[in-house]
Amino acid sequence: MDFFEDSRKQADDVTVSMLKQMCEEMYQVRDEADALEKQKAEKTKRWRFLERKIIDTLNEYGMTNFDMGEGRKIGVSKQSAVDLPQDRGQYEELMNFIHEHGHDKFFFTLNKTKLRSFVKTEREGRGDEAWLPPGVVGEETTFTLSMRGRKRGEVSQ
């Protein structure tokens, strides 16, 4: 039996009016949320453009950060991502290397985060920033900005 078929009471004019008002508001809120999503996408695009432009400009002048005064600084952060091998043979090559060099006691399971940490530690120990273990074919390096100082929403004077 359908919910609406079982209703024993007819909605009076006040109830119908109230329902209409709530439904209209719901449509309005949905439209406002859609507009905000669009605005957020535009702001995110602008943010990424500025971030890239600032990183490129700092890099061009050999700078890693910029002090804006008033305790506000923008700095470039380097992040490297080493992916787990997708090829079965390369994965086995990596796992054999880890096992042969006694590192397997640190890896109950191997994931991207542990592999990145392992590579970083090994590079520091070897003094070789480009070192990668056998089986790992490459890495992706990205640069992002970190903003220090003024809190979100705080307006400078």
Residue that wins the pLDDT comparison between 130 and 50: 50
96 Cβ contact list (under 8 Å, min separation 6): 134
Instruction: Strands of the chain (E only): list them.
Output: 65-69, 72-82, 139-148
Single out the residue of 75, 85, 94 nearest to residue 147, CA to CA.
Answer: 75
Q: List, for residues 16-46, the tens digit of each pLDDT value.
A: 899 999 999 999 999 999 999 999 999 999 9
CA distance 114 to 139: 14
Q: List, for residues 86-137, the tens digit of each pLDDT value.
A: 889 998 888 888 888 777 666 667 788 888 888 888 889 899 888 888 888 8
Look up the pTM and report it.
0.59
| Residue 139, pLDDT score | 85
| Residue 1, pLDDT score | 46
CA distance 97 to 136: 11
